[in-house]
Structure 1
Amino acid sequence: MSNATESHLWATYTTTANPNNILNTTTTTTTTTTTTTNAWFSTSDISTTGNSTWWNTSTSTSSEVSLKLPACHHHSSSSSSSSSSSSLLLQPLWDHLLLHHFSLVSSPFFPVLLAFSGYLLFSLPFAAFDLLGEERLPAVHRYKIQRDRRPTLRMMLRSLGTAVYNHLVFVLPLVVIHGLLVPPPALPLHAPTVWQVFSGALGALLVFDAQYFIWHVVHHRNPHLYRWVHAVHHEYYSPFSWSTQQLSAAELMSIGFWSSVDPVLLGLHPLTAWLLTLFSVWLSVEDHVGYDLPCALHRLVPLGLLGGAPAHDMHHQRPATNFAPFFSHWDKLLGTEAHLEEKVITTNTTDKLGESDHAARVGKH
């Protein structure tokens, strides 16, 4: 087909399609080898069956991808055009993910990979701060909340090992079982607007904050639940970045359940859910780092809406306070809020694993 007569499906679709149309994809292995991958699908690739439109493209990995669109409905109203225009900012990113990384982002393992990778990447800088110590990084350690305590390499490896073990033994098998029982959801063709990302993520954070607050209070008030489920997270009096996922399998499953179900119940776009995953992991790590840095989110967000590292560090020192994971309103309303200046000063205390203050300071492990 000549360039003069050839049209492109993507351009045609985005200007005429219903924004709620859904993209369904299947992948089948072929024996034909080709190296062409087109970001834009030409009309020469299109075939029509009934009320559906199909097109095929081949990738460098010798797999043929069949993409199916519901019948395109023409809209003359300005609302469809306005919705399409408002998502233009994120549409290039969404197009890139669908066209070049579809097998990754459509995998049921992708949310787990995203969350665990975020945990690793966000924790590493603070682990380096702790290992280098006050002698080498005095400018950073001036913001350390419990300056007389320093996590050792042994403590860090134990927390990281717990996280890896929980994911290999519990999380991944559950993902496999879920994938066998529940078909993967279709990915939408259009990206969310910036407002949809912001409002959806904020709503999900507020819902999760309330859920975990209730769960947290119950598990602290009930000695049996605390002992068998939540005590693992309190093995260290002074939290550090890797201790973010120092969790029992039951607690990790509870958090994972809400994190997976809430976006579905709220109808969040997959891109919103993925960005929410990274942001919530960052908030969780920042709560545990043990540093009250001037650039921390709880200092940037006004009115003390976020608790941040000081609030959660205080919770590890006084476990009957500061139950909320992110925000501060529930603790303020229910009288469980506490501030660092109210803490009880202790000396020569020992974490549950037997890491004394002196051993932590000099790096013995």
Structure 2
Amino acid sequence: MTVQGTVLRHAAFSAEISAAKINMNSTCQASSAYLQPLWNSVKNNENLLKSCLFPTVFSFSVNFVLCLPFFLLDMLGPCFSFFHRYKIWKDEPFNLEVWWLCLKKIVCNHVVCVFPTSILYGFMRPAYLPDEAPFLPKLIMDVVLGLLLFDTFYFFAHLGLHGVPWLYRNVHSLHHEQRKPFALTSQYSNMLEIIFLHCFALIATYILDCHPLTEIVFFIVNIWLAIENHCGYNFPWATHRLVPLGMFGGAPFHDLHHWRLKCNYAPYFTHWDRLFNTLIEYTEDKQNFGKTGY
């Protein structure tokens, strides 16, 4: 091969690389453009986003709004037979006092736990609002990776909360007062446990260095999945029915944990429980519920 031919081949190869980079940049810009109007409208509220009260108010508001439909379903359940037939414990009566008790505890936890940890995190990582929105594929990837990290942190912490008798009695037993969970019980926990849960979520987004919009989406999804896992309904459109290969537990998976205690420790995914042989599959006839633990 002549020197001239080698040069021509090198030039052609360089042109192909440049074209690929241009296409990649165009794809990224197009992907970012989908989220740019949304990010612009969010960023217009910069003072609100940087407020020390925003994380606490945001967390409580999202919890309250996402729990409200399940509150109505539980209260009016028999009137809506289409939805009521998917309730895991159909014979469990609606108890307004217990809902009110959980709501008061959640308000207290947000004031005493979520607010201080959010203030501390704000000092450690001051709010930065870039002009550009994140790329849509990266946002989705970071949310999924964040959930996997949170799931990992909580699995091993949860294992310890059940494995150490003192921790269970003094920290985690409050969450298990409700053997048949409902939506609000997702945040009905000891203050120390709430602080750790909040820190796990913050650490996950910190490790991934998430864009602020990604953080907002992650926290909404994380709160929703926690509520869905405690809602007490086995809907055919629930997340665990949509994720293939039994990789996601869902409400039936977590109901078994509340009933039997020493199983199904992961909050969302099932891989850690499979690896540690702590997974128990749910069956509609509830024969696998057996006797409650402890």
- 3-state SS, counterpart of residue 293 of structure 1: coil
User: What letter is aligned with 2:186?
Assistant: T
The answer as to 2:95 corresponding to 1:152 is yes
Provide TM-score, normalisation by structure 1: 0.69
Which residue in 1 is equivalent to 2:114?
A: 171
- Count, aligned residues: 268
> What is the Cα deviation at residue 82 of structure 1?
4.9
Does structure 2 conserve the Cα–Cα contact (< 8 Å) formed by 1:298 and 1:304? Answer: yes
Which residue in 2 is equivalent to 1:325?
A: 267
Which residue in 2 is equivalent to 1:300?
A: 242
> What is the Cα deviation at residue 86 of structure 1?
2.8
The answer as to 2:38 corresponding to 1:96 is no
Which residue in 2 is equivalent to 1:230?
A: 172
Tell me which of 67, 80, 85 is aligned to 2:30: 85
> What is the Cα deviation at residue 177 of structure 1?
5.2
Tell me which of 107, 111, 116 is aligned to 2:51: 107
The answer as to 2:127 corresponding to 1:127 is no
Does structure 1 conserve the Cα–Cα contact (< 8 Å) formed by 2:52 and 2:118? Answer: yes
Computing the radius of gyration from Cα coordinates, the structure with the larger value is: 1
Tell me which of 274, 277, 300 is aligned to 2:216: 274
Q: Deviations over 1:254-312 (max 9, x none)?
A: 01111112211111111111101001111000000101011111111111111000000
Does structure 2 conserve the Cα–Cα contact (< 8 Å) formed by 1:315 and 1:321? Answer: yes
- Aligned equivalents of 2:30 and 2:66: distance in 1? 34
Gaps of 5+ in 1: 1-76, 350-365
- Aligned equivalents of 1:291 and 1:146: distance in 2? 8
- Aligned equivalents of 1:83 and 1:175: distance in 2? 32
> What is the Cα deviation at residue 182 of structure 1?
4.3
Mapping for residues 1-365 of structure 1, pairs under 5 Å: 78=22, 82-98=27-43, 100-134=44-78, 136-176=79-119, 179=122, 181-182=123-124, 184-341=126-283, 342-344=287-289
Higher deviation after alignment, 78-87 or 284-293: 78-87
- 3-state SS, counterpart of residue 189 of structure 1: coil
> What is the Cα deviation at residue 83 of structure 1?
3.5
Residues 230 and 131 (structure 1), Cα distance of their counterparts in 2 relative to 1, 3 Å cut = same
> What is the Cα deviation at residue 108 of structure 1?
3.6
User: What letter is aligned with 2:87?
Assistant: K
- Aligned equivalents of 1:121 and 1:305: distance in 2? 27
Gaps of 5+ in 2: 1-20
